[in-house]
Amino acid sequence: MYKGTSFLFSVLLMGSIVTTMASVTQAQVLVVQRQSTQEVKELLEQGRRLVETGDYGGAIAVYQQAANLEPKNASIYSGIGYLYALQGNFSAALTAYRRAVALNPNNSDYQYALGYISGNLGNNNAAKEAYRKAIQLNRGNINAYIGLGTILVRLGEYTSAQWAYEEAVQLAPRNPQVYELRGTILKKQGKSKEAIAVLKKARDLYEQQGKFDSVTRMEATLRELGM
């Protein structure tokens, strides 16, 4: 996992590859700017408490009040996008993250989130562009390489997807998602024998990490390949 301020918050099946979404704020820990008023600070604290109780709709409403008072705080919009994505409202999440990116276009995590959400909305070209920007801004953003590889597989751009895999494996050689990405590339290319070997490694790594839902998914894919 790359070092930085990002946090993982959700796992969603994208085609046959699982990717994670990073949020620079994790919503609960929104950045308070130095010039923030006491009212904004109190709103962010209120929103944090609502998130902790699972009241995402209430938290969004509170964060929107904070955004109205502090419209240039990109992290507030990121937090709003994060919560909308948790609810599965990707259209609203996209609007919020676009605002965050407009305010801070050089934030790799915001670009990554934009790619993730665009991919879930089926806009693969926009997702590809956002993931590439995320990588340009942070060459250590492993999630962006995995996300980009996922989208490139969708688009049938297997050579470029292979590049994304190679970069990812250098950054995280024991990340099972990296091997799942590689196995999916091989499967799409009709290289069943090679795909089985790589997906077995992904399964074993998931098992070592106690991610048994992912183990079940890998075993289903292996059965599909005739293992």
Give the model confidence (pLDDT) of 12-22 as tens digits: 223 334 455 55
pLDDT (mean) for 38-53: 90
Considering 2-11, 23-32, 45-54, 155-164, the range whose residues carry the highest mean pLDDT is 155-164
What CA–CA distance (Å, rounded) separates 187 from 197? 11
With 90 as the cut, is the pLDDT of residue 222 above it? yes
CB 76 within 8 A of CB 67: yes
CB 33 within 8 A of CB 70: yes
Neighbours of 3 (CB within 10 A): 7
Q: What is the CATH number of domain 30-105?
A: 1.25.40.10
11 in the Ramachandran plot: left (φ > 0), alpha (ψ -120 to 50) or beta? beta
54 exposure class (CB count in 10 Å sphere: 0-12, 13-18, 19+): exposed
Q: What was the pLDDT predicted at 31?
A: 53
pLDDT (mean) for 112-121: 95
With 80 as the cut, is the pLDDT of residue 160 above it? yes
Query: Which pTM value belongs to this model?
Result: 0.82
DSSP string computed for 14-82: ETTEEEEEEESSTTTTPPPPTT--HHHHHHHHHHHHHHHTT-HHHHHHHHHHHHHHSTT-HHHHHHHHH
